[in-house]
Amino acid sequence: MTSKACRDDISKFAMSMSFTHLGTGSRGNSTLIECGDYKVLVDQGFSGRQLERRLARMEIKPSEINAILLTHHHGDHGGGAAIATKRWDIPIICNYKTATSLNLEIEKTRIFENLEVIKIAEDFALLPVPVPHSGADNVAFVASHNGERGAVVTDLGSWTNELANHLHGCQHISIEANYDHNKLWNGPYPSSLKERISSRGGHLSNDQTGQFLANVVTENTRSIVLTHLSEQNNAPHIAESSVLYHLDDLFEGDIRISLQDGPDFTHHVGQSEAELNSIEGIYLRG
Ligand SMILES: [Zn+2]
Ligand SMILES: [Zn+2]
């Protein structure tokens, strides 16, 4: 149950930027970023009904969403974008390859170039940073507000120095930890699929995510969410312990896992230390 009191608590900090995963995984992804009165989704891989139901838990109507930004064209990220536009007239913002791969109407879609700043409001912008992912022109998004940044990174087989530079020192980082290496290689998938998942164009393993995070977290990094865990080849406790092993004492903030059924929690970015301590990781479920 979504607590009304929790939403009221959140609204007290209306000028912070917040990140809430409506759900992540191979059966659908969508992340809500709120900043003041503005609300955008990164990805919409759910049916219209699922999106409506997940937002309702936060007392938000789909018509309140200002835009849907897409990372890439795979169905679990962009498969529900067109229905959301048709049903609630929500604009879609994505790059050209994603738009054409999803057969979106180009004239109704705002097309960005990778690394072009997407300004949503006066002090709320998102930067699309390219990441390697097979057959897709995939991007991570780094959202910024009031001098602080939060990132949503998913579906990448490896990282680039460019991505590391943009994530360095972000206050919040949501990033995929898709598979445990041993579970994948000892599991039932055919070897061609195992190779594809673990290739440069596939997904990050828990260890790769941990190694990458060790390169980008700073003392400014307050929260990490691990996303898009494979239900077959991973488990929350394995993902968390693998990543924390690599982070060692580099990170002392809040680390959580987003699974397929959300929303479960919200992270705020751009607050003072005292405010963050009082609201960090508000749980949406009563
Ligand atoms: Zn995906
Ligand atoms: Zn993908």
pLDDT digits (tens, 9 = 90+) for 24-73: 999 999 999 999 999 999 999 999 999 999 999 999 999 999 999 999 99
Mean local confidence (pLDDT), 99-108: 93
Give the phi and the psi of residue 75 in degrees, each rounded to 5.
-55, -35
Give the span between the Cα atoms of 167 and 18, in whole angstroms: 17
Q: How many domains does the chain have?
A: 1
Q: Is 156 domain-assigned?
A: yes
Expressed in angstroms and rounded, the spacing between residue 72 Cα and the centre of ligand 2 is 7
Helix (H, G, I), strand (E, B) or coil at 173: strand
Expressed in angstroms and rounded, the spacing between residue 133 Cα and the centre of ligand 2 is 7
* Residue type for position 279: I
Q: Which two tokens stand for residue 267?
A: 């992270």
Q: How far is CA 159 from CA 91, 105, 211, in A?
A: 29, 31, 10
Q: Is 184 domain-assigned?
A: yes
- What domain range is 189 assigned to? 4-280
H-helix or E-strand spanning residue 141: strand 139-145
Expressed in angstroms and rounded, the spacing between residue 52 Cα and the centre of ligand 2 is 23
Q: Is 20 domain-assigned?
A: yes
Expressed in angstroms and rounded, the spacing between residue 39 Cα and the centre of ligand 2 is 24
pTM (two decimals): 0.91
> DSSP H helical segments within the chain, as ranges?
4-11, 48-56, 75-78, 81-88, 96-101, 161-167, 181-186, 191-198, 206-216, 236-247, 273-279
Expressed in angstroms and rounded, the spacing between residue 122 Cα and the centre of ligand 2 is 31
Expressed in angstroms and rounded, the spacing between residue 148 Cα and the centre of ligand 2 is 27
Q: Is 285 domain-assigned?
A: no
Q: Is 286 domain-assigned?
A: no
pLDDT of 115 strictly over 70: yes
Here the CATH number for the domain that contains residue 234 is 3.60.15.10
Q: Is 183 domain-assigned?
A: yes
Expressed in angstroms and rounded, the spacing between residue 272 Cα and the centre of ligand 2 is 35
The pLDDT tens digits of the residues spanning 192-233 come to: 999 999 988 899 999 999 999 999 999 999 999 999 999 999
DSSP-derived pairing of the beta strands 254-257 and 265-269: unpaired
Residue 7's Cβ-count burial label (10 Å; 0-12, 13-18, 19+) is middle
Q: Is 256 domain-assigned?
A: yes
Q: Is 148 domain-assigned?
A: yes
CA atoms within 13 A on the CB side of 63: 2
Nearest ligand by distance to the CA of 134:
2
